[in-house]
Structures are given as structure tokens and as C-alpha cells.
Amino acid sequence: MVFHNTRSFAQELDRTDPLRHFRDRFFIPEREGNALIYFCGNSLGLQPKAVREAADAELTTWQHLGVEGWFDGETPWLSYHRTCKEALGQIVGAEPVEVCPMNALTVNLHLLLASFYRPTPTKYKILTIAGDFPSDQYALETHAAFRSYPPADAIIEVSPRTDGLIHTSDIQRAIAEHCDSLALIWLSGLNYYTGQVYNMAVIAETARHYGIPVGFDLAHAIGNVPLQLHDWGVDFATWCSYKYLNGGPGAISGIFVHQKHHDRNLPRLAGWWGYQEETRFAMTKGFVPMHGADGWQLSTPNIVALAMHRAALSITAEAGMPQLRRKSEQLTGFLEHVLLEAGFGRSDEAGSLPYQILTPADPNQRGCQLSLLVRDNGKALFDRLASGGLIGDWREPNCIRLAPNPLYNTFDEVWQVGEALGRVSIG
Ligand SMILES: *Cc1c(COP(=O)(O)O)cnc(C)c1O
């Protein structure tokens, strides 16, 4: 698509946008009566109007039924999690039996590492990405240490090249080089800082070639980019639901465990909520897991949070990932266009330009987020945009992250951001 940096062009795209009505399903934050431009769904998605109703419905069930709510009511709480599986499966490219909403991301990562990180004295290393999200780094570090392997020795990091990006071929080379000592590969599917999407299909294929389990953190990928976890042969994954899935602050996370592992009776850290549903309340000794991803559940779920998650999830499922992705590529492409016109340089222009887009220019290597590097006084630029009504996200020391969301952002908002920027390299 050829973009024009004019308001009429932006408004025409909005007028013909098949997803434009989805914006009305969200509360848009305001300041002094004016809608803010919210490009921060990579950190916390906006509130869908349906979420309060969904939470309220479960509070009403509790009010009227008390404990009977576990078995009675419109959606009995005992199997409430199952009502999210269809949509989750659709969004991550999985069979419903391979996914389960539960816990929080880092908690799930620990549970999955307990099952999939099976080190031996010769094969105990974990391959990951340098500078990946801190919580993931801490989880890997402590799992290695927990099994008495010093993290500095056990964790192998693939580093970015001078363009600040990780090259898939570097990951493949590292897997091949360390294949004899690797017990696990774990990385984010979409880098929270650079906005880069890794080629998960190729990484999973390489991992399978060497017989090494591979898992992905999909915090920034779910609801943002197309995923085919089952077909790619990914072994396991987890995500959060408060970023692109709009489930609310601290929303329920979820896991994916590939079908090929369901009958393997993998070791795990068990809890009663992962015990077979039919006989759970017999309260007997000896853990018998539920089939599939459900068998990793631990505890009684927070039903109000699950209801919020489900309500938000169904909006993403209704819009559909192919349609969301189509709009997202245009929206972010348009943002890139106005940034280039404002004086930013492209990611692939080498060197240290004063204003540069760090996120890859290739749409297949990014989701909706663009990360901007501003060498001098980036915070002042960020503050200026913020005071003009833009909610973005600032990362020390010099990074502005902007993530226009195809569910609730408009092309006109992107145009307005361009206007607010002016000519950065001059002004
Ligand atoms: C947001 C994010 C998290 C957050 O983890 P929580 O357990 O939900 O606090 C973890 N990893 C990545 C890559 C993230 O982007």
C-alpha cells in the first residue's frame, strides 16, 4: 500500500476499515473531555465495555448461588476455563485440548520449565536471547540454579547484531553449535523492547531437528501476530492476557502444550485443579492429571478474572486474527510512513542516526509496535508527545515504544501523531 501523509487519506482508510466498529466496544481514556491517543496496548490493553458486565455476572451468580456457582448457573465455575479454549486455540493456532487459561505468565513459565527442562549432567544448557524480558531471565536463571547448574555456565545467549536485532540464522547456528549440551530453548516470540518477531516456525523446526524442546513466551505476540503453534511443532508456550488480549491488569495467563506430549505423563508440579475433573472431589491420594494442557492447572481459578478474560478474548476471536493482522500491517505501516516523513531513519540504515526506528522494516518481522531510538533528549520528545495527548511507553535510556492496536486505534490517530512530531531532526 502507498501511504500519503494527509488527514483525508487517513480518514478514508478509517471510513473503509472493516474493523472500525470494534473501537466502540472499548472505553477510550480521555483528558479534559478529549479522547487520548492510546498507543500503549503493548503494556496494558484498553478496557472492553463487555468486561465489567462479565465480571458483574459472576458476582451476581456468587450473590445468588454461593458455593453452588461451581456447578450451577449459566457457566458453572468448575469448567469455566473450558469456555476460553476455542478462542484461545484459534488465536494461537492450537487444538482446544492444547491450551488452558490459568495463573500468571511467570508462574506458568516455572510450571512448564519443571516439565520441559530435564537437564542431565551432559545436556543441561538453555539457549535464549540476550536482553530478553527480565522475568524470563530470572526464571531460567533460577531453574538452572535449582538443579545445581551455575546460570553463567548453563545459560547461552544469542546476542543482537550491530543493527540491534537478532538474526534467525544466528539462533540456528547457536542451536547447531551447542546441540550436544542443550536441554532447552526458550525465548520470546516477539521481543518486548525492539518489537522484532522471530521466525518461530524455523526455530521450532531447527530445534526439532536436533531433538531439543523449544518453548516461546508469547506475551507480546498473542493477539498481535498470527501464530500456528501446533503446526510449527512448538513444544510449549505461555503468554499474558493484559497486553493485546485486553483482559485487564494482571489478567489470567494461559499455556500451550503440544498434543505430542499429552500421553507422555511428563513430570510436573501438580495441584488439585489439574486432577481429573470427574473424580477431583473424591480427594484421593495419587495425582491423576487431566488430559492435555488442563493437567498443568494448580489452583482454584479466580472466576471474576476468568470472566473478564473470556469477554475480552471473544472480541479478538470475533474480529479474527487474519483481519486484525491485515489492518495492523496497514496501521503500523502508516505509522512508519509518518515517522519517516518526520525525519526518522529506518532500522536497516546502519549507524547511529539521532532518530531511528529500531523495529524491522519487514512486516513479517514485526507486530503492531514500533520502537524508536532517540539518541539525545528522547525523554523530552516523549513528554512533549504525552502532553499533546499521546499515551505511549518510555523505556530508559532512549526508547519510545508506540503500538497502534487494530482493535481500537485509527489511521487518523496515526496521522495526528505525525503532526504532533513535526520535523524531529530540525525542530
Ligand atoms: C509482559 C511480559 C511478562 C510479564 O510477566 P508476568 O508474569 O505477567 O508479570 C513476561 N515476559 C514477557 C516477555 C513480557 O512481555
144, 126 Cβ separation under 8 angstroms: yes
Q: Average per-residue pLDDT in the chain?
A: 96
Q: What is the DSSP letter of 159?
A: P
214, 207 Cβ separation under 8 angstroms: yes
Chain centre to alpha carbon of residue 200? 14
Instruction: Report the pLDDT value the prediction gives residue 281, as an integer from 0 to 100.
Output: 84
Q: What percent of the chain has pLDDT over 70?
A: 99
**Region label for 131, one of left (φ > 0), alpha (ψ between -120 and 50) or beta (otherwise):** left
Ligand 1 center to residue 189 CA distance, Å?
A: 12
272 annotated as a binding-site residue: yes
Residue 99 carries which side chain, given as an amino acid letter?
V
Contact partners, residue 129, CB within 8 Å, separation at least 6: 157, 158, 166, 171, 187, 188, 191, 198
Q: Which residue has the cell 524455523?
A: 202
Ligand 1 center to residue 30 CA distance, Å?
A: 27
Instruction: Report the pLDDT value the prediction gives residue 422, as an integer from 0 to 100.
Output: 87
Indicate if ligand 1 lies below 6 Å from the C-beta of 401: no
11, 420 Cβ separation under 8 angstroms: no
- Mean pLDDT across 316-339: 98
Chain centre to alpha carbon of residue 203? 18
Per-residue 3-state assignment (H helix, E strand, C coil) for 354-410:
CEEECCCCCHHHECCCEEEEECCCHHHHHHHHHHCCEECEEECCCEEEEECCCCCCC
300 annotated as a binding-site residue: yes
Taking only the tens place, the pLDDT of each residue in 44-98 is 999 999 999 999 999 999 999 999 999 999 999 999 999 999 999 999 999 999 9
For residue 215, list its beta bridge partners. Answer: 186, 236
Tell me the domain boundaries of the chain: 7-47+321-422, 54-317
Chain centre to alpha carbon of residue 423? 33
Instruction: Report the pLDDT value the prediction gives residue 282, as an integer from 0 to 100.
Output: 85
38 annotated as a binding-site residue: no
Q: Where are the alpha helices (DSSP H) in 179-284?
A: 200-209, 229-232
- Angle, to 10 degrees, between the axis of helix 7-15 and the axis of helix 411-421? 160
- pLDDT band for 351, please (50, 70, 90 cuts): low
Indicate if ligand 1 lies below 6 Å from the C-beta of 43: no
| Structural element, H or E, at residue 414 | helix 411-421
Indicate if ligand 1 lies below 6 Å from the C-beta of 106: yes
The beta strand positions in 80-181, using DSSP E, are 99-101, 125-129, 155-158
Which residue's CA is minimally distant from atom 1 of ligand 1?
219
pLDDT beyond 60 at 40: yes
The beta strand positions in 179-224, using DSSP E, are 182-188, 214-217
Taking only the tens place, the pLDDT of each residue in 261-304 is 999 999 999 999 999 988 888 888 999 999 999 999 999 999 99
Contact partners, residue 75, CB within 8 Å, separation at least 6: 83
424, 44 Cβ separation under 8 angstroms: no
- pLDDT band for 350, please (50, 70, 90 cuts): low
Query: Cα–Cα distance between 277 and 59 in angstroms, integer?
Result: 24
Indicate if ligand 1 lies below 6 Å from the C-beta of 135: yes
- Of 407, 406, 413, the C-alpha closest to 34 is 413
Instruction: Report the pLDDT value the prediction gives residue 295, as an integer from 0 to 100.
Output: 97
Instruction: Report the pLDDT value the prediction gives residue 25, as an integer from 0 to 100.
Output: 98
- Mean pLDDT across 106-115: 98
Residue 116 carries which side chain, given as an amino acid letter?
F
Instruction: Report the pLDDT value the prediction gives residue 398, as an integer from 0 to 100.
Output: 92
Classified as helix, coil or strand, 189 is: coil
Ligand 1 center to residue 283 CA distance, Å?
A: 34
Q: Which of 105, 239, 309 to mutate to test the pocket of ligand 1 (most atoms within 8 A of CB)?
A: 105
242 annotated as a binding-site residue: yes
For residue 133, give the ligand 1 atom closest to its CA. 13
Fold agreement between 7-47+321-422 and 54-317: no
Q: What percent of the chain has pLDDT over 90?
A: 93
- Fold for 7-47+321-422, please state it: Aspartate Aminotransferase, domain 1 (3.90.1150)
- State the virtual CA torsion across 18, 10, 241, 101 in degrees, nearest 10: 20
For residue 106, give the ligand 1 atom closest to its CA. 7
- Mean pLDDT across 339-361: 86
95 φ, ψ to 5°? -75, 150
Q: Classify domain 54-317 by CATH number.
A: 3.40.640.10
Q: Which of 103, 132, 240, 401 to mutate to test the pocket of ligand 1 (most atoms within 8 A of CB)?
A: 240
For residues 231-255, one letter each, b for 16 or more C-beta atoms within 10 angstroms of the residue's C-beta and e for the rest, the string is: ebebbbbbbbbbbbbbbbeebbbbb
Q: Which residue has the cell 501511504?
A: 3
Taking only the tens place, the pLDDT of each residue in 84-107 is 999 999 999 999 999 999 999 999
Range in 9-23, 143-157, 293-307, 374-388 with the lowest mean pLDDT: 374-388
Q: Which of 43, 107, 133 to mutate to test the pocket of ligand 1 (most atoms within 8 A of CB)?
A: 133
334 annotated as a binding-site residue: no
pLDDT beyond 50 at 427: no
188, 219 Cβ separation under 8 angstroms: yes
Indicate if ligand 1 lies below 6 Å from the C-beta of 188: yes
In angstroms, the Cα distances linking 241 to 93, 316, 367, 391, 410 are 16, 11, 16, 20, 22
Q: What is the DSSP letter of 19?
A: T
For residue 127, list its beta bridge partners. Answer: 156, 185
Taking only the tens place, the pLDDT of each residue in 155-198 is 999 999 988 899 999 999 999 999 999 999 999 999 999 999 99
CA-derived radius of gyration, the chain: 22
- Mean pLDDT across 228-256: 98
For residue 105, give the ligand 1 atom closest to its CA. 7
pLDDT beyond 80 at 28: yes
